[in-house]
Chains A and B, each alone.
Chain A
């Protein structure tokens, strides 16, 4: 019988090694840029776009629109570390020639997936936290102290769900030649479909439905609700939706991996992609 490594050991090994091997853009300079520079520049960019678009609006309406955009982009920048970086894991495995070794290893796939997600979840938490701090300091977004606990829960759930979504895209990328195109699509599509820069209700109905299929939409809604001090009852519903989106993403990612694994082993065509 093949001895199985423990769940925790597989989890920890993947958590430690994935940033150095399979996750994309995990060099320290990229990580610092993702956490500290991109949120600010993206928020400034869209704030000025809103200023131009709302040129005729009153000062308070303009400030409110800018703050809406600032919060949206503060949260949306999480896609760099959680989606774009994470979905490249399978690409890296294929190009480095380690996919075959992974497929024949007895390691727990669940531990592997959760392990790979650990550092991106932490970076995503840092990105959203820094982004929201910028929103408060530079764009006048008011974050009452009383809302911080519920905001923290929303941010953690969003980071978890977004990394799950990144892993799901990585699972889809198992069947593709490259994940870069997929990664690029979902890096930015949230800006349009998730209510980042304008309410989702402004979009045509089919696009609204598409938006509701993205974890970012629910995560952002939960964060906005927490900042505006909504009651726990309505927050709980949004938290449930974010958690569900995350859990479904992780489950779908693992299922895709299992199907790919079976096909690869039965056809012997692992390297054909």
Chain B
């Protein structure tokens, strides 16, 4: 077996082990799903209350927004937080010293976060629909589900980049807590980004979920007015930015690992 094959095998094994550990930790104490569910459920109901009486498709807005928040909690927050958790447990240094690239370990956690994000999204959907008394009117439920999963993958891509940068900083919690609402506003999770001042739109477009959410609304809300270029360019934009994020994450992880190993200053942050 040559070195490259061994490396790939080691990566897969690490990802699987990391995924398995994430599942076991979740099953050991599943109550941790609750904290990240409370805000989305409440925000979903508040938004529904604010939108009440303004048309059939506003329920979709409330559900999409709340679902997106839940995914933020599970996917982006969980992925980004993973590095801080390693730091707190004292496992960051041994993990980075291991022959397997750290990105494979993070990937396993991200995969589980995507799954738990889906669970969270389903719970939010059920609660908001129960409060509203009827499911949202969806022209194409299958497209809705597919694009919903796609939005979550775009969030996961952002989460992986965050996780890479968090190796350098002890302000991960600060950035995520303080930046939470800014991210909701910037990516238009509850309203179209075009409602924001024009100068903010180019900034919003740097985030893959902005494109993906716009595409999802085009597919789910007849008469939706989002970015003027429409559904398919939105999908294309989401794919391009997500790919760019994943490439960036791979590169950043590689550089971060090499830098901390060379400098030996992982504990100084």
Q: Do A and B bind each other?
A: yes
**Would you call B185 and A48 a contact (CB within 8 A)?**
yes
Question: Which of B42, B45, B184 has the most chain A CB within a 10 Å cutoff?
Answer: B42
Complex: chain A residue closest to B37, CB-CB:
A184
Q: Which of A45, A187, A203 has the most CB of B within 10 A?
A: A45
If A37-B178, A55-B54, A56-B54 touch, whether A188 touches B185 (CB-CB below 8 Å) is no
- Contacts A41-B185, A45-B190, A48-B191 given; indicate if A198 touches B50 (C-beta within 8 A): yes
Residues 222-264 of B contacting A (Cβ, < 8 Å): none
Q: Is the CB of B35 within 8 A of A41?
A: no
CA distance A191 to B49 in the complex (A): 11
A27 close to B (CB within 8 Å): yes
Indicate if the CB atoms of B174 and A189 lie closer than 8 Å: no
Chain B residues positioned under 8 Å from A25 (CB to CB):
177
The reply to whether A181 and B185 form a contact with Cβ atoms under 8 Å apart is no
**Is B38's CB under 8 angstroms from A52's CB?**
no
In the complex, A38 Cα to B190 Cα: how many Å? 17
Taken residue by residue from 189 to 220, chain A's Cβ proximity to chain B (1 for < 8 Å, 0 otherwise) reads as 10110000110001100000000000000000
Per-residue contact bits, chain A 37-75, to B (CB 8 Å; 1 contact, 0 not) = 110011011101111111110000000000000000000
**Residues in chain A within 8 A of chain B (CB atoms):** 25, 27, 29-30, 33-34, 37-38, 41-42, 44-46, 48-56, 178, 180-181, 184-185, 187-189, 191-192, 197-198, 202-203
Residues on A with C-beta less than 8 A from B65 are 49
Contact B50 A50 (CB under 8 A): yes
Secondary structure call for the B interface: helix
Would you call B61 an interface residue if the criterion is a C-beta within 8 Å of the partner chain's C-beta atoms?
Answer: yes
Contact across chains for B51 and A181 when beta carbons are under 8 A apart: no
The answer to whether B38 and A191 touch across the interface, beta carbons within 8 angstroms, is: no
Q: Does B122 contact A (CB under 8 A)?
A: no
- Whether A52 contacts B174 in the complex (CB less than 8 A), given A44-B185, A181-B35, A191-B42, comes out as no
B9 within 8 A of A: no
Q: Which of B162-219 contact A (CB under 8 A)?
A: 171, 173-174, 177-178, 180-182, 184-185, 190-192, 195-196
Do A188 and B178 contact each other (CB < 8 Å), given the known contacts A29-B171, A52-B195, A55-B54? no
Cα distance, A115 to B207, chains bound together (Å): 44
Specify which chain B residues have a CB less than 8 angstroms from the CB of A192 in the assembled complex.
42, 45-46, 49
Q: Are A53 and B31 in contact (CB under 8 A)?
A: no
Interface centre among A30, A53, A187 (most CB of B within 10 A): A53
A188 touches B43 (CB 8 A): yes
Contact present for A45 and B35 (CB under 8 Å): no
6 A–B contacts from the bound complex (CB under 8 Å): A37-B178, A38-B181, A52-B191, A54-B54, A185-B38, A192-B42
B47 interface hit (Cβ, 8 Å): yes
Whether B39 contacts A188 by the Cβ 8 Å rule is yes
Assess whether A45 is in contact with B181, with CB atoms less than 8 Å apart: yes
**CB-CB under 8 A for A27 and B38, given A49-B50, A53-B54:** no
CA distance A54 to B171 in the complex (A): 38
The residue that A197 contacts in the complex, of B31, B34, B35, B50, with Cβ under 8 A, is: B50
CA distance A185 to B195 in the complex (A): 30
Query: Are B43 and A191 touching (Cβ within 8 A)?
Result: yes
Report the separation of the CA atoms of residues A180 and B29 in the bound assembly, to the nearest whole angstrom. Answer: 13
Residue of A nearest to B181 (CB): A41
Residue in B49, B50, B196 whose Cβ sees the most chain A Cβ within 10 Å = B50
